[in-house]
Amino acid sequence: MSAIPSGHAASPRAGRSPLPREARDTLFLLAIIAGTLLPHAGHLPWWCSAITAAVLGWRARLAWRSEALPGRWSLMAVLALVIGLTYLTHHTLLGREAGITMLAMLMALKTLELRARRDAFVVFFLGFFLVLTQFLYSQSPLVALWMLACVWALLSALVLAQMPQGVPSLKLAARIAARNTLIGVPVMLALFLLFPRLPPLWGLPKDAGARTGLSDTMSFGAFAEVANDDTIAMRLRFEGPPPAQPLLYFRAQVLSRFDGTTWTASRVTWGAPGRDPVPEGPPVRYVATLEPLRVSALPLLEVAPGATGATLQAGRQTAMRGQQGQWLTPQPIAERLRLTLEAWPRARWGLSPSRAERNESLSLPAGLNPRAVALGAELRERFAALDDDARAEAVHRELLTRIRRDGFGYTLTPGTYGETTPNAVDEFWFDRRLGFCEHFAAAYVVLMRAAGVPARVVTGFQGGDPQLQDGDLIVRMSQAHAWAEFWTSTRGWQRADPTAAVAPERVQGQPLRPPPGVFAGAMDAFSPGLLLELRGAWERLNNRWQQTVLNFSAGDQMGLLRRLGFEEPDWGTLAQIAGLLFASLGVAGAAVAAWQRRPHDPWSRQRARVRRELARLGLETRDDETPRRWAERLGALHGDAAGALAAALLQLEAQRYRQDRTAGTSQWQRQFAALCAEFRRRNA
């Protein structure tokens, strides 16, 4: 802010005369505020974005027309409305979502009372804080670049506010802000590398809506359509080549309980006696980087070793191996994890389940899906002459044969099941026969149980991108999957994937995708595969950003200290280095404070340079004199010989008092110094 905003009424600006500095700086600040709030628009309530846009537009109109600011009672009324809407939306005025909503509204409303420079400083402070809150939603490189631009713009506006005299250009303010930012970069890097790694202050936000992805429950037919989310779920780097796509099953949650509509995890206690998998073949060793999936089960390659009750450190939580082979955490995972693991894709396990586990995997809700129950009983009767294991295998093969033969279809848009009848499995299996993996897995398990075969649903991920990315196998949220398991006494729990019977490409790294949109279709027509190449390049960049910057941990800090020559660094070493750093910053701060005692206003610096040049010409000047007075005295002292110098001083006067933006620049200063040097040469 320039001159202190007055808030007094004035006539609307006429014609095309240049904007007054106050109006120009206000419009510049409003544009910065809009840019800072723009990334929040998708996370704020719709009314917040609408009111913010209206307030900023109103304030821009007032600045453009040089009209009076609204009274305090008007602001109080709008503030009361905002508080009420915030409470109705979030049911609280505290917490992250409500806090960011209020912060955005307060920043917009504060622009309506910019009556003093201290009001502008409040806006700057709120702007810097809003920049920080954007990282609660995303920490990608693009967000970081956008927020860096917002910080630069806010610093430029802050520099303008510290220049109360003259009409400094926006370019000059931006250049000063960039220079000061570059001066602070070494300090920023030192703090980033040496400041202790602290846990995040807030968890990551939850996504709303139906998406392909993991969940701790599964509702049969709850969604008529699911969105295809191609964001990365995890990256895996194997020792040697990755396993074949049909072996890439990443087990997360096991759902054994079924109430007719919803599948949930087992209630069987974890703490049963340990039962290790029986390996077959060599283990697969790999390093997995898991994104924050916000579920309480780790999706690990089957079959991960470990007995029931075994533990695994997962970030700041301890995962425990459940009775059904899943690795569970006390709280949903809300941080990025990097784990070194091994697995046996062909291991046998679960050869002796407990009675409670076996009974739960045979249970069906009474009175529901009578046609499916009748078909299961028919199959049980047909294969009654076989022993239990042979009967289980026979029923399994029969169900997969029917899926291949009877016109079933795999689609992401099957419509909603169970709207007119509670027998959703009957409706799927016998009538419509369209669904995605959840429908096939759930119906398969119901029919297996009806035939007397223990079975259950398993959720996780299946497959990965066909091409490695920087040596990593990429698993996406769109590859989230549901399959089934059935039990035999000789093999234990065996995987069965009925989806593969109707859509074999689904387990070959080619998940079914919805038709491309207009833009994607046009891009594919122009250059097939271009979008995939661009996405891959962006994901590689994002991964390097994640691994290098966001995942920089305390262990990385200690490794850096060892590379710098510290033999056994610890927290004490880090504290000593941090103390030395802060002491150095203190000395540098004292030096900057001493330097700041000098006049730093551009006009003051300009006057000082001109006065020094005039003193060399024999003209002593005073603090209370203007450039016009200097021109008059110079003419009286040297006559017409000083005409060019007097004209330059009058031009400086015009710049200061008439807002002539062509003078007072570094170019003007060089020209004035050259005129003085020429004058001294002629009069030597």
Q: How far apart are CA 178 and CA 462, in angstroms?
A: 48
d(CA 317, CA 164): 54
- Indicate if 437 belongs to the active site: yes
Amino acid at 647: A
Catalytic residue from among 90, 396, 439, 481: 481
Are the CB atoms for 127 and 9 separated by under 8 Å? no
Q: Give me 325's structure tokens.
A: 């082979």
Contacts of 549 (CB under 8 A, 6+ apart): none
Secondary structure of residue 218 in the 3-state scheme: strand
Q: Coil, helix or strand for 285? A: strand
Which residue in 48, 150, 437, 676 is the catalytic one?
Answer: 437
Do 52 and 130 meet the contact criterion of CB atoms below 8 Å apart?
no
Residue 249 DSSP SS3? strand
Using the CB atoms, write b or e for 562-583: b if 16+ within 10 Å.
eeeeeeebeeebbeebeeebee
No. of H helices and E strands in the chain?
Answer: 21, 17
DSSP assignments along 224-243, one per residue: S--B---SEEEEEEESSSPP
Sign of the alpha-carbon dihedral angle for 166, 169, 172, 176 = positive
Give the DSSP letter string of 630-652.
Answer: HHHHHHHHHGGGGHHHHHHHHHH
User: What are residue 510's phi and psi, to 5 degrees?
Assistant: -125, 75
Catalytic residue among 25, 426, 465, 497: 497
Tell me how far apart the alpha carbons of residues 44 and 499 are, in angstroms, rounded to a whole number: 39
Q: Quick count: other Cβ atoms within 10 Å of Cβ 445?
A: 30
Is 481 labeled as catalytic in the residue annotation? yes
Helix axes 46-65, 72-90, angle to 10 degrees: 160
- Contact assessment for residue 255 and residue 305, using Cβ atoms and an 8 Å cutoff: no
Provide the pairing of β-strand 409-410 with 492-496. Answer: unpaired
Q: What amino acid positions are annotated as catalytic residues?
A: 437, 481, 497
